[in-house]
Every structure is written in C-alpha cells, then in structure tokens.
C-alpha cells in the first residue's frame, strides 16, 4: 500500500523513536520531537509505539492515496482535510483510493503525526530511520533528506478498525504551558536574581526554533561564567549562552555543549514545548529527579493504554 506526496514543505520528515547508543560517535538521536503524539498515532492503529511515522511541521503537505487504507493522525491541528472535508486529529480514519489528504496551516500546535498500519517502510541507518539532515542519516532513502513531492510511502500492515483517543489524554496546545525542569549541575553558576526570574516569570517561544533547539526570550540570566569545558548534553537541556536567553535542546541537537545549563526538561515537557508556536508563553517549574522519573514511569507503564482510552466511532 502507498501514498504519493503531491505537495510538501521542507520540514516534513520520517521519524521513529530515534537512535540509541550512538552519541559517543558524535551522532545525535533524532526521532519525533513530540514523542507523546507519535506514540498515540501508532496506538490508534495497533502499531508498536515507536513505529515510523511522518512528522508534518506547520502544514503545507498533501498526499494522494493509491489504495484504500486506514491511517491515523495525532498531535497538532494543522487544518487537515480529506477531499475537502475537515479531519480532526487524535483518531484513525479511512482513506479511499484516489482521495487527497491535505494539511494547510497550524490551528493548534506545530507538529502532526501521520501513521500507517505497521509503520512506514524506510531504510534503517544505525538502527533507526529517523531523519537528521545535518548528519545525512535516515529518512526514506537513508541519506537524511526530508520528504519531497513525488516520494511514495509504503507500509505492509493490514486495515485495523477505527479508534479515537479519549479527550482526557490529549494535551493542551494553547494557554501558558508549565514545563517541568530537573535542575542541572551548573545551577549554582547563576545569580540568585537569575534563578528567581527563571522560575517566576513567563518565557516566550522565539521564532528561532528548529529540531535542534528552541530559544526562549525573557529576563536575562547571568552568572559568574559564560562558558565551560564542553560536556555531553541530554534531550531537553536548557543551555544559557552569553546573551542570557535560554536555548532548550531538542532531538537533533549537538552531542556536546559548552554553556552553563539550568537543567533539563522532563521528556513530557520536551514533547509539549515541541508543539509551541512562536510567541507562545511558557513557565519553567523545578521538579526533583525522583518526581520526573515517577512521571515518566507512569506514562510508560500505561502502554498499551487500557481500553477506556478509546471509544468507537458512532
């Protein structure tokens, strides 16, 4: 079964759970920026939670179905429609041969995830098909290129029944978001005023954002040192360069960094930040490592979700 891409911006990519055990080689992890929505898109079809999906960023994407199929959509509302009829995310849906699936522009959120039964087929490089353009790894052909018009996407799965995600499990994509932060080793490098400002004032998502990182603008954070010996940086690390404006590192980040860090966002907060449009407002909230681990364990322990997470279509 296949879909043909007829229109596509430069930001649509194939992503899975990312590469593990390769950062000592200088290779970053890649993978879906919003892993939570990615997992739910796959759950809607009964796939493994990290099966390859299409990460569609900001819309401008159009597909033509070559055969009847059942697909699933989760994450941002990018104005999706099926032959002109509005299509809501967080559900699976039928698409017939010859129908067009279109994404226009963001209504809520930034990234939508389109899943196919069994996951999309792509060459695996270092154990993953996650697209990382800077390193020329992953994607449809293994060379790191994003999806483009004329590409055909295939899968081998069957045709599962329709599902929809319980609204209680859908995260908010508007309002001021709380982002949980596990404090880092350099927290003592910042002045008391900077720490107060960091966790008691709102931050705004800057337009300078991509899959490497998202800059936050707000109060200027200062400390006794503005650089340090480079060390490994985890997903969600909050680096503070010399201008005092934090940068949250995402999936395609460099593997080492030499700026002091406030700490790192929890995995769920990384997923939520990845859905923030420029201009969105967020608040940083410190949490203990134990609390962050409990939160993540709860999320992963409830997988696959219990039956009450879905309801049948009328």
Q: What does the pLDDT look like over 54-113, one tens digit per residue?
A: 999 999 999 999 999 999 999 999 999 999 999 999 999 999 999 999 999 999 999 999
Query: How many Å is the Cα radius of gyration of the chain?
Result: 20
Count of CB atoms situated within 10 Å of the CB of 178: 12
- CB-CB contact of 181 with 269 (8 Å): yes
Bridge pairing between strands 81-82 and 85-86: antiparallel
* Residue 186: alpha-carbon gap to chain centroid: 27
- CB neighbour class for 195 (10 Å; exposed up to 12, middle 13-18, buried from 19): middle
For the chain, domains (ranges, CATH) are 2-168 (no CATH), 177-301 (2.40.100.10)
**Alpha-helical segments (H) within the chain:** 35-43, 192-200, 267-273, 289-301
Residue pair 120/131 in contact by the 8 Å Cβ criterion: no
Residue 311 has pLDDT above 50, yes or no: no
Query: Sorting pLDDT into bands at 50, 70 and 90, what band is 301?
Result: confident
32-63 pLDDT per residue, tens: 999 999 999 999 999 999 999 999 999 999 99
- pLDDT tens digits, one per residue of 124-159: 999 999 999 999 999 999 999 999 999 999 998 877
| CB-CB contact of 73 with 113 (8 Å) | yes
Total Cβ atoms within 10 A of residue 298 = 10
Sign of the Cα torsion 206, 60, 174, 162 reads negative
Tokens encoding 251: 């999936």
Cβ within 8 Å of residue 235, ≥6 positions away: 29, 249, 250, 251, 253, 264, 267, 270
pLDDT the model gives residue 46 = 92
């Amino acid at each position: 079964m296949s879909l043909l891409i007829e229109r596509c911006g430069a930001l649509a990519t194939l992503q899975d759970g990312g590469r593990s055990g390769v950062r000592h080689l200088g290779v970053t992890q890649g993978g879906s920026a919003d892993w939570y929505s990615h997992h739910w898109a796959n759950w809607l079809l009964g796939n493994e939670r990290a099966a390859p999906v299409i990460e569609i960023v900001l819309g401008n994407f159009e597909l033509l179905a070559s055969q009847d199929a059942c697909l699933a959509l989760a994450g941002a509302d990018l104005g999706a429609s099926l032959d002109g009829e509005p299509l809501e995310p967080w559900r699976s849906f039928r698409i017939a041969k010859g129908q067009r699936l279109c994404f226009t522009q963001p209504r809520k959120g930034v990234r939508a995830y389109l899943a196919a039964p069994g996951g999309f087929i792509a060459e695996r490089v270092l154990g993953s098909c996650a697209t990382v353009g800077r390193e020329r790894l992953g994607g449809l052909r293994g060379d790191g290129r994003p999806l483009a018009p004329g590409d055909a996407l295939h899968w081998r799965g069957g045709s599962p029944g329709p599902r929809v995600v319980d609204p209680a499990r859908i995260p908010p994509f508007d309002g001021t978001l709380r982002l949980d932060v596990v404090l880092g080793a350099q927290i003592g490098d910042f002045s008391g005023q900077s720490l107060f400002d960091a966790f008691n004032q709102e931050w705004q998502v800057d337009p300078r954002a991509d899959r490497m990182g998202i800059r936050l603008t707000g109060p200027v954070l200062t400390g006794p040192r503005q650089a340090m010996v480079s060390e490994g940086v985890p997903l969600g690390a909050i680096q503070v360069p010399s201008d005092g404006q934090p940068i949250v590192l995402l999936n395609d980040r460099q593997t080492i960094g030499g700026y002091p860090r406030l700490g790192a966002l929890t995995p769920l907060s990384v997923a939520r930040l990845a859905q923030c449009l420029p201009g969105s407002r967020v608040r940083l909230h410190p949490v203990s490592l134990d609390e962050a681990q409990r939160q993540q364990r709860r999320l992963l322990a409830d997988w696959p979700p219990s039956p009450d997470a879905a309801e049948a279509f009328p």
